[in-house]
A and B are shown apart, each in its own frame.
Chain A
Amino acid sequence: DGGITQSPKYLFRKEGQNVTLSCEQNLNHDAMYWYRQDPGQGLRLIYYSQIVNDFQKGDIAEGYSVSREKKESFPLTVTSAQKNPTAFYLCASTAGPLAGELFFGEGSRLTVL
């Protein structure tokens, strides 16, 4: 079945450590997105990519980095520069900017100890 796979589902990290969240899709979608979700704040866009080897900052990109070397993959690195990284992270994809709906992965919950 086609879909988006995020891993790991749960992740714990110590302060000062970088961590990378994986996002893989087999929907043949061009555009991929990373959102951060905090209680009562909806989803906030971190980074997005509309084509391989190209990506743009979203509304809250500070302390995060991404790469898009393959169409299927869009990993997110949460760096030690992110001041408050504990959150639920969601990866999504769509066939194109105006294609309509976003398809989401199951999410990754990061907790900083």
Chain B
Amino acid sequence: AQSVTQLGSHVSVSEGALVLLRCNYSSSVPPYLFWYVQYPNQGLQLLLKYTSAATLVKGINGFEAEFKKSETSFHLTKPSAHMSDAAEYFCAVIGNTGGFKTIFGAGTRLFVKA
């Protein structure tokens, strides 16, 4: 079964610093990969998605992620953190068994210090 691992349940950065949120997946076939963001007491919204068109994917709010098949990774980055980036981030993959359900990582909470 496919799975997603997010390294670090909490990440803290200073405003203006690089944001790096790590995600590794297990998959025997090229996957569909996603990053979602969740603000407190709200639903999730899509940041970006990888569907094999390009390995470097650009998303909303200045975020981007790079698909590295050799490392089975899909890390999320942003060059300069803003206070408004403080939220929880989820990496997800669409499984290729049992109805192609989306499988989520445990999430990483990003804190941004002034």
A-B contacts, CB under 8 A, total: 58
Identity of the chain A residue whose Cβ is nearest the Cβ of B98 in the assembled complex: A56
Q: Please measure, in the bound complex, the distance between the C-alpha atom of A48 and the C-alpha atom of B44, giving whole angstroms.
A: 17
**Any chain A CB within 8 A of the CB of B42?**
yes
Q: Min CB distance, B5 to chain A, in Å?
A: 11
Stretch at the interface among B13-21, B61-69, B103-111: B103-111
Contact B51 A104 (CB under 8 A): no
Chain B residues, Cβ within 8 Å of A98: 32, 94, 100
Contact A97 B100 (CB under 8 A): yes
Q: Please measure, in the bound complex, the distance between the C-alpha atom of A102 and the C-alpha atom of B92, giving whole angstroms.
A: 10
B-contacting residues, A56-71, CB 8 Å: 56, 58
Q: Quick one: CB contact mask for A84-105 with B, threshold 8 Å, 1 for yes?
A: 0000101010000110111011
Most buried by A among B44, B46, B90, B94: B44
Q: Min CB distance, B26 to chain A, in Å?
A: 15
Chain A residues, Cβ within 8 Å of B36: 102
Contact B51 A41 (CB under 8 A): no
Contact A102 B42 (CB under 8 A): no
Chain B residues, Cβ within 8 Å of A58: 101
Known: A50-B99, A90-B44. A41 touches B94 (CB 8 A): no
Q: Please measure, in the bound complex, the distance between the C-alpha atom of A42 and the C-alpha atom of B88, giving whole angstroms.
A: 10
Q: Min CB distance, B94 to chain A, in Å?
A: 7
Contact B51 A100 (CB under 8 A): yes
Interface residues of A (CB under 8 A from B): 4, 6, 33, 35, 40-43, 45, 48, 50, 56, 58, 88, 90, 92, 97-98, 100-102, 104-107, 109
Interface residues of B (CB under 8 A from A): 9, 32, 34, 36, 41-46, 49, 51, 90, 94, 99-102, 104-107
